[in-house]
Amino acid sequence: MNSADAMEPDEIQTTEQLLPLVYAELRRLAAHKMAGENPGQTLQPTALVHEAWLKLGENRQWRNRNHFFAAAAEAMRRILTDNAKRKRRVRHGGGQQRVNLDDAATAADSEADHILAISDALEKFALVDPQRAELVKLRYFVGLTFAEAAEVLGISEVTAKRYWTFARAWLYEEIRAAR
């Protein structure tokens, strides 16, 4: 998160002031996250960053970089979740499977369902353990490394890895029980 390192820890800045400091970092994170999405994905990294930026609002005040990136993680999670819900709607082919004509044995990917299941379970997890839920948002929905997420949360990288292990197990059980 070097692009935002110029921001002092306790300095309050508006979203407009932060744009030149964090845009490149958000774009890099979005590109990393979107690289793991399925072929045919209509949401591009730049669009994800722009939508997140709009959700964050122009006149909000940010206490520090961590406060901003936590809000950005939540905005990106909501955008990806809304996009997954949109894809599941019947008028957008929800329930239908995409078949690659070059390789008819390949089944359609259920990424939209996967994102929705994680998002639903994450909302429940946030009620139980907000800090670990925030780690999941930063890692899964934004694509931060353990070191970057630990810095945002103000914890050690080792603690972040422990939290991640616990959160993954909790979410797995929640998703399995919901099916």
pLDDT in tens, 97-114: 443 323 322 222 336 777
Q: Within 36-138, where are the H helices?
A: 45-56, 65-88, 111-128, 130-136
| pLDDT of res. 4 | 43
Task: Report the C-alpha dihedral over residues 60, 141, 94, 105, rounded to 10 degrees.
Answer: 160
Cβ atoms of 142 and 29 closer than 8 Å: yes
Sequence-distant (≥ 6) Cβ neighbours of residue 75 within 8 angstroms: 51, 52, 55, 56
Q: Residue 50 is encoded by which pair of tokens?
A: 């722009």
Residue 12's pLDDT band, with cuts at 50, 70 and 90, is low
Q: Residue 11 is encoded by which pair of tokens?
A: 């300095």
Residue 164's pLDDT band, with cuts at 50, 70 and 90, is very high
Q: Residue 13 is encoded by which pair of tokens?
A: 């800045």
Q: Residue 119 is encoded by which pair of tokens?
A: 């998002």
Supply the pTM of this predicted model.
0.56
Cβ atoms of 146 and 164 closer than 8 Å: yes
Handedness of CA 174, 176, 177, 179 (dihedral sign): positive
Count of domains for the chain: 1
Query: Which candidate, 45, 101, 107, 100, places its Cα nearest to that of 76?
Result: 45
Query: Which candidate, 56, 38, 26, 57, places its Cα nearest to that of 141?
Result: 26
Residue 31's pLDDT band, with cuts at 50, 70 and 90, is confident
The per-residue pLDDT of the chain, averaged, comes to: 75
Q: Quick one: DSSP state of residue 14?
A: E
Cβ atoms of 62 and 18 closer than 8 Å: yes
**Domain around 46:** 2-178
Residue 42's pLDDT band, with cuts at 50, 70 and 90, is low
Largest Cα span, the chain: 56
